[in-house]
Structure 1
Amino acid sequence: MPTIPFSQIRAGMALASEIESPDGRYRLPVGTILADSHLKWLRGWRIRDVEVTPETAGPAATGGDPPDQPGTPEETIRQRFSHLPADDPLVAGLLNLALVRAEPLAAVRPARPPAAGREPLPPVPTPEAILAADPVLVSLPEVFMRIREVLSDPGSTVEEAAAVIGKDPSLTAKLLKLVNSSFYARTLRVSGGLPPGAVDTLSRAVMLLGLNQLSTLAMGVSVLPLFKDIPAGCIDMRQFWRHSVGVGLVAKLLAVRINDPSPERFFVAGLLHDIGRLVLYKQVPAAAGASLAAAAASGRLLVEVERELFGFDHATLGGMLLRKWRFPESLEQAVWRHHAPASGDVPLEPSIICVADMVVGALLPGSSGERLVPRLDTAAWKTVGLSPADLPDLVETAEAHFEVICAMFA
């Protein structure tokens, strides 16, 4: 592919390789048709050379950007909101905040989905068959199994929990970093549980958060390495985890806001809410790719396309996986029902994840594959008690801690 000095780059050329900002926060994926706004970003990032596709390396292409890549950040944002009721105050509040952040959000798009093939989609296995076919998902890490035993035993002690978690040095380091982060300091201060000094031992972390809280957090974090081998063509895993962390952050902030006694499970539920998509990308990549392509081509929500093509969606698959792993039922239901909170017996948990998913999908970087802002579930927003006036402070707090927490999961 030809590499051209930045001085010769013109709007209309197509990127042949991904370009990332120096701080790693924003990126332009392969296939991006460069617009004038993109050139401004590249100039600000001090990019010297750009690799472009041969067919666009000559005179600048004409005719503007293709439909899925509007020419300005504002157009990109409005397109992502186009399926939502524009006159709804919550949608208007999210859109206004998104437009203020237009350039950063437009810069971080989901990876370009594979082109829709002409071959018919082969039959997709049932969720049960998909989960049973992967030995990695069946044979969980030993530390996960031990933590689960501690969590299910009412007679477990702080020392026993600390000893089990401490057998995994990487997990221990992540947990202590999280508990000592400014985000945790803020949420603990709100709940009145912030102690003086650093939390330097697992025993102290258990005493601070509670046995169930830290054990649930440890279970959630311990399963993340199971998905390191996702095919690169399906999804940008860095952007996937950025979206997941964002939902976890906002979900925990919402739980603290309503004085929930165990907000840690909401961070874990947010972190794992789209884990069903990872299973699809890992186990049935051709079908997952077809759903991404169909959603992009039709301008529909990815979750709706999943239901149409597979007969189930990623939320159902994720909830079934957490049930298989015997996660606490409230966490399992939060993942399973986050696209339909009213379908469960206890709507609060899935409502918080539903609202957090929409807020993060609209206003924070990252993507699990969905190109649009998730649909508005008015009942979920009423259950959570969040109004348009509450959004700026919520988002500002999440943004203040977002990059630090993302770095812990890199």
Structure 2
Amino acid sequence: MPLRSLADLQPGMVLAADAESPDGNHRLTSGTSLTETHIRMLRGWHLREIEVEAPHQPQDASTDAPEDAAQAVLSRFVHLPGDNPFVIELRRQALARADTRVPPKACRPAHRKPDAPAGVPAPEKILTGDPVLVSLPEVFMRIREVLSDPSSTIEEAAAVIGKDPSLTAKLLKLVNSAFYARTLRVSGSLPPASVDTLTRAVMLLGLNQLSTLAMGVSVLPLFRDIPADCVDLRQFWQHSIGVGLVAKILSARLGDPSPERYFVAGLLHDIGRLVLYKRIPDVSGEALARAAESGRHLVVVERETFGFDHATLGGMLLRKWRFPESLEQTVWRHHDPMAADVPLEPAIINVADMVAVATLAGGSGERLIPEFIPEAWRLAAISPPDLPEIVAMAESHLEVVCAMFA
């Protein structure tokens, strides 16, 4: 079969061999009739050539998924208002990716319990009972001090962050990524060459923005010991980064001058779930299984099982760590943004979470598309026709940004 450059692909061409993304999370199978969505996705994978057969008549993007894959997608939308224009477009985007998106691994807790376990610790006890969460890395605490001190200088911030070579490398890769280049280009501050020092990075993004980004990235290694039967950490961070990317895109569309805090809020929005998986894995595994078996949202089952949910716990953790109050409140209220004093930021994360769960790789344990909150979508100031571009942009950068955090 002939090899074709991705630049030469046209709708209707048929794959003669499987095409797979470099990380193995997405796959188009042999025999797939390519649509515009497929072609855009393949180009986002940065493949050079693929094998194709003679063109077939193009199919509509909403109907090109295999029946079983399409049904699996539709089952995740059943609780949403089926006639809402946003839901219709989001469902269409999800269906277009149904045969390529590898679903998150299901939780299979090792020990099932017939009844809800008694004596779930209070949130405060969960947070104070783990020495890892209490004794934070020195670099984190130093960054926090810089962020809270209005007299801190660019050089001081760069010196503090630079004490952690791994963190420095991640931040410089992120600032030099195509995704950040686009943001800097829009703001008119795109540098003529790569950013090779933290001082330049601080000058480009701003002291508060880079320090907030550094704090968010520095907490990732604290959760490496999560039991595998609760969550796949790789998929968890894929989802979290996906929410961060979508949130940053949405904030940029609104002209917000501080989009990095939205990326960090997306990165950490489900951190409360990691605390639950780390501290009470048996009970958390049971909640995951119950949510799957009952067809209800995991956040609802969390409230019934624990007496609180992951968003509350995550907000409390960020308060304990003395993150900026806006980040704490955004994480705390991302499932109930209209209850926040300033609802815009949690509303952006709420919308980004819904988009990411529906269309992007990864997952934090939730099988269903999150609840649709009309007021949050109004605050995000997007229309249904905007969704394809937003999803495609986040999708095209997700794999590269995830690799930076590996």
Q: Same fold (TM over 0.5)?
A: yes
1:94-152: CA deviation from partner (whole Å, max 9, x where unpaired): 001111111123x3233233374325413211111100111110110000000011011
Which one of 69, 73, 79 corresponds to residue 73 of structure 1?
69
1:23 maps to amino acid:
P
Which one of 306, 310, 315 corresponds to residue 302 of structure 2?
306
Cα distance change, pair 39–111 in 1 and its aligned pair in 2 (3 A): farther
Alpha-carbon offset, residue 217 of structure 1: 0.2
2:25 maps to amino acid:
Y
> 1:379-394 to 2 correspondence within 5 Å?
379-394=375-390
Which one of 394, 401, 404 corresponds to residue 397 of structure 2?
401
Local SS of the residue matching 1:366: coil
Q: Which residue of 2 aligns with 1:140?
A: 136
Which one of 192, 196, 207 corresponds to residue 196 of structure 1?
192
Cα distance change, pair 402–22 in 1 and its aligned pair in 2 (3 A): closer
Cα pair 1:269 1:335 within 8 Å, conserved: yes
Cα pair 1:116 1:294 within 8 Å, conserved: no
> 1:5-404 to 2 correspondence within 5 Å?
23-26=22-25, 72-105=68-101, 107-114=102-109, 116-404=112-400
1:262 maps to amino acid:
S
Return the TM-score normalized by structure 2: 0.84
1:198 maps to amino acid:
S
2:105 maps to amino acid:
P
Cα distance in 1 for partners of 2:108, 2:333 equals 26
Cα pair 1:191 1:259 within 8 Å, conserved: no
Unaligned 5+ runs, structure 1: 1-20, 29-36, 42-69
Local SS of the residue matching 2:190: coil
Cα pair 2:116 2:305 within 8 Å, conserved: no
Alpha-carbon offset, residue 24 of structure 1: 2.8
Alpha-carbon offset, residue 40 of structure 1: 8.2
Cα distance in 2 for partners of 1:93, 1:125 equals 41
Cα pair 1:230 1:281 within 8 Å, conserved: yes
Cα distance in 1 for partners of 2:74, 2:314 equals 30
1:90 maps to amino acid:
F
Q: Which residue of 2 aligns with 1:58?
A: none
What RMSD, in angstroms, separates the aligned Cα atoms of the two structures? Answer: 2.0
Cα pair 1:341 1:348 within 8 Å, conserved: yes
Cα distance in 2 for partners of 1:311, 1:39 equals 48
Alpha-carbon offset, residue 71 of structure 1: 6.9
Cα pair 2:73 2:98 within 8 Å, conserved: yes
* Identity rate, percent: 67
Local SS of the residue matching 1:103: coil
Cα distance in 2 for partners of 1:292, 1:38 equals 31
Alpha-carbon offset, residue 246 of structure 1: 0.2
Cα distance in 2 for partners of 1:405, 1:22 equals 14
Return the TM-score normalized by structure 1: 0.83
Cα pair 1:337 1:343 within 8 Å, conserved: yes
Cα distance in 2 for partners of 1:168, 1:155 equals 22
Instruction: Number of aligned residue pairs: give it.
Output: 354
Alpha-carbon offset, residue 409 of structure 1: 1.3
Alpha-carbon offset, residue 359 of structure 1: 0.4
Cα distance in 1 for partners of 2:96, 2:349 equals 24
